[in-house]
């Protein structure tokens, strides 16, 4: 994710699409061989639990009752739904900046660099006591970076914007997962984390649909500016509806 998109973009521009796909597929061969070489004892360890509809309902009920986790879940859902920018990047690389596959690869790789920097920043910061406030601030910076991308007049300005988008997104994800680990009891931790992951993936698909539709109707830059504005409204609305998020302090 760090260098793959940029390398792929250069290869597509210089050798074509088909050879690039063959090269990418060949890189999976060592991983396949390594997986096939793994030997398992075949014995299950720990308690075996049956997955049922009731257990999933209990997970949803827990998230609904735990207001801090619910607010983080809604924050992620809302921001991604109206601020999913990745499907729009090919328009910026090809139509706006005329940078071709190489430029698109750089744009796709920049969020991964930002995510790495964001994760490193969280590690250096240590245990952030005001995790809720940090998540809200990160979401607001995400919205601001979305607007910066929409207003970008130069290619490297857009690269900087998507780098910050990756940075803020990684901070939000890190805080959300940490809070779930701390606030969910052992019996609910797996279900809570799984449900949040499932809804996050679903939101990505819905966000991609909205991003494509908005770009078709308004143009890519205006779609991002509208998404940024809606992000801010959602962040403020969630924070007002569940004020415990901003005031939450970890022990």
The answer to which of 12-16, 46-50, 153-157, 168-172 has the lowest mean pLDDT is 46-50
The domains of the chain, with CATH numbers, are 1-38 (no CATH), 53-247 (1.20.1250.20)
Q: How far apart are CA 117 and CA 64, in angstroms?
A: 32
pLDDT value for 51: 65
Q: How far apart are CA 25 and CA 14, in angstroms?
A: 18
Q: How far apart are CA 21 and CA 171, in angstroms?
A: 32
pLDDT value for 15: 83
pLDDT class for 229, splitting at 50, 70, 90? very high
Average pLDDT over all residues of the chain: 86
Provide DSSP, the chain: --SHHHHHHHHHHHH-HHHHHHHHHHTTHHHHHHHHT--------S------HHHHHHHHHHHHH-HHHHHHHHHHHHHHHHH--GGGHHHIIIIIS--HHHHHHHHHHHHHHHHHHHHHHHHHH-S-S-HHHHHHHHHHHHHHHHHHHHH--SHHHHHHHHHHHHHHHHHHHHHHHHHHHHHS-HHHHHHHHHHHHHHHHHHHHHHHHHHHHHHHHH-HHHHHHHHHHHHHHHHHHHHHH-THHHH----
* 56-72 confidence digits (pLDDT tens): 787 788 888 888 888 88
* 133-182 confidence digits (pLDDT tens): 888 999 999 999 999 999 999 999 999 999 999 999 999 888 888 888 88
- What pTM value is reported for the model? 0.84
pLDDT higher at 15 or 97: 97
pLDDT value for 42: 64
> Which percentage of the chain shows pLDDT scores above 90?
32
């Amino acid at each position: 994710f760090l260098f793959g998109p940029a390398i792929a973009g250069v290869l597509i521009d210089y050798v074509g699409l088909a050879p690039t796909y063959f090269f990418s597929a060949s890189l999976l061969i060592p991983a396949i061989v390594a997986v096939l070489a793994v030997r398992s004892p075949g014995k299950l360890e720990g308690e075996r639990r049956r997955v049922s509809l009731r257990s999933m309902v209990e997970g949803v009920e827990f998230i609904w009752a735990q207001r801090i986790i619910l607010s983080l879940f809604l924050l992620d859902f809302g921001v991604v739904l109206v601020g999913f920018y990745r499907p729009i990047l090919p328009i910026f690389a090809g139509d706006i900046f005329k940078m071709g596959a190489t430029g698109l690869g750089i744009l796709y790789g920049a969020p991964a660099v930002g995510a790495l920097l964001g994760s490193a920043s969280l590690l250096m910061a240590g245990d952030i006591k005001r995790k809720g406030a940090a998540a809200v601030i990160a979401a607001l910076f995400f919205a601001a970076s979305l607007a910066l991308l929409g207003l970008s007049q130069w290619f490297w300005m857009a690269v900087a914007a998507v780098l910050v988008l990756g940075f803020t997104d990684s901070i939000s994800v890190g805080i959300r997962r940490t809070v779930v680990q701390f606030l969910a009891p052992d019996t609910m931790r797996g279900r809570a984390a799984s449900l949040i992951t499932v809804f996050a993936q679903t939101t990505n698909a819905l966000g991609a649909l909205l991003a494509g539709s908005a770009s078709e109707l308004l143009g890519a830059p205006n779609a991002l500016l509208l998404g940024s504005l809606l992000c801010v409204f959602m962040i403020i609305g969630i924070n007002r509806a569940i004020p415990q998020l901003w005031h939450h302090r970890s022990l």
